[in-house]
Amino acid sequence: MINMSEQRVTMRFRELRVKRQIINNAERLGFEKLTRIQERSINKILDGMDVVGQAETGSGKTVAFALPILERTEPRRGIQALVLTPTRELCVQITDVFEDLGRGLGINVTSVYGGVSIDNQIRKLHSTEIVIGTPGRILDHMNRGTISLGGVRFLVLDETDRMLDMGFIDDVERIISQVPRKRQTLMFSATMHGLVDHIIDRHLYKPVFVYTRTHVDKSKLRQVYYEIGNQNLKFSLLVHLLKNSTQGLTLVFCATRTESDIVARNLRRNGLNASTIHGGMSQQSREKSMDSLKNERTDILVATDVAARGIDIKNVTHVYNYDVPKTSKEYIHRIGRTARAGEEGDAVTLLTHKDHDNFRRVLRDVELDIQPAEMPHFRRVMFERYPRDSDGPRRRPYQKTYQRRPRRW
């Protein structure tokens, strides 16, 4: 194994050994200088090496593997590259990167994920060279016989740790077993743990390890917490901070899908332009929420951790932990949504009594510098846990009732 830890060398896209059309596309997209993960990975991939890349959120990992794959992919030769990724949002985002960088090359890219009709995917798979997919839907196509992986020369496991944390290890193993052993395998992940090491040892050949800075940049990211105490005041403080101390795009993280919906609905009732994203929504609804935030039609996205990994939302100025994450790793992934590309950002945690155990686990990471903030004066606002009919009382969700069965004597 080779460990790439040399000092950074500033490099421009135009210096890469790739087709001029790819360079033109990169420059059209505003890319000029390579990021650290890109300059340490791209040429190694072009040289045919297996690569394991670990880098901070927003470091340009997708371009690091998309660009060399596009360079080595030939039109009209069947599926030559397979990228596995944990979520539908990441699948769509990675597809966009491949399509933007590969414009004019005659290479077709197909997204394969659940929650949408499979028929359109089947049609596209007949004439595609690069497939970006989630493990579950890839397995669905394999079982149907609608995808052929026999010609795959590039296998990419993106956000590998997240994929394995979500329980996809058996699915990933089954998919890898159908890909030719003579291939180039690339793995990109924000963190490494035992299951990831298992995949590396079993499926990569003499990989090059590329590490870049993975800790939080304290000079760019201000981290604070508010000790609230009373759970009933948490939402009121959030509304106050959003209205008085927050400018730009904002992410608010909640622990559950239900809580995300409730918080977003109450924010809208208080005049704030909020939308929601979580795993329980339809793909169309999730894409609508993402597009609304990216195009700045809404200011606030209330989300579960599905939005914390790999999704590229530019210009996020604030991240609020409405519910405290359970580990420092989850905390870092959340706050990594802001203070990106050299910009400054704020990460704010709202701490009540029930959050103390989780917060202590977060603070075990000595690299984190989360300071207490002075509690402001704020007005208490109404927080409705159940929706209200337009002219009626609050409406509780349907609850199943049980009738007691008569005793038999």
Determine the residue type at 324.
V
Q: Which of 373, 351, 375, 382 is nearest to 229 (CA)?
A: 351
Residue 69's contacts (CB-CB under 8 Å, 6 or more residues apart) are: 45, 81, 98, 130, 154, 156
Indicate if the pLDDT at residue 396 is higher than 70. no
pLDDT for 341: 62
pLDDT in tens, 122-150: 999 999 999 999 999 999 999 999 999 99
pLDDT for 248: 84
The 10 Å Cβ neighbour count of residue 346 is: 22
pLDDT for 68: 97
Q: Spell out the CATH class of 2-211.
A: alpha beta
pLDDT in tens, 50-98: 999 987 666 788 999 999 999 999 999 999 999 999 988 889 999 999 9
- Give the pLDDT band of residue 216 (cuts 50, 70, 90): low
The CA-atom distances, in angstroms, between 174 and each of 391, 402, 408 are: 54, 44, 53
CATH architecture of 221-372: 3-Layer(aba) Sandwich (3.40)
Return residue ranges of the chain for CATH 3.40.50.300: 2-211, 221-372
Strand-pair partners of 251: 301, 319
Indicate if the pLDDT at residue 332 is higher than 60. yes
Q: Express as a percent the part of the chain with pLDDT over 90.
A: 59
Indicate if the pLDDT at residue 234 is higher than 90. yes
The CA-atom distances, in angstroms, between 237 and each of 340, 350, 352, 384 are: 26, 8, 12, 15
The CA-atom distances, in angstroms, between 301 and each of 11, 134, 181, 275, 337 are: 35, 24, 42, 5, 12
8 A C-beta contact, residue 318 and residue 346: yes
- Give the pLDDT band of residue 404 (cuts 50, 70, 90): very low
In this structure, of 98-107, 150-159, 320-329, 392-401, the range with the lowest mean pLDDT score is: 392-401
The CA-atom distances, in angstroms, between 389 and each of 261, 273, 275 are: 16, 21, 20
Range 200-211 average pLDDT: 92
CA distance 51 to 187: 6
CA distance 363 to 359: 6
The angle at the Cα of 189, spanning 93 to 202, to the nearest 5 degrees, equals: 120
pLDDT for 266: 96
Say whether 187 sits in a helix, a strand or coil: strand
pLDDT for 58: 67
pLDDT in tens, 235-270: 999 999 999 988 888 999 999 999 999 999 999 999
Between the ranges 9-13, 214-218, 398-402, where is the mean pLDDT highest? Answer: 9-13
Tokens for 71?
Answer: 């360079």
**Higher confidence at residue 386 or residue 130?**
130
In this structure, of 167-176, 310-319, 389-398, the range with the lowest mean pLDDT score is: 389-398
- Give the pLDDT band of residue 231 (cuts 50, 70, 90): confident
Tokens for 107?
Answer: 């290479």
Tokens for 143?
Answer: 């079982």
Q: Is 100 exposed, middle or buried (0-12, 13-18, 19+ CB in 10 A)?
A: middle
pLDDT in tens, 36-59: 899 999 999 999 999 999 876 667
Average per-residue pLDDT for the chain: 86
The CA-atom distances, in angstroms, between 299 and each of 193, 234, 315 are: 35, 20, 11
Helix axes 283-294, 88-101, angle to 10 degrees: 60
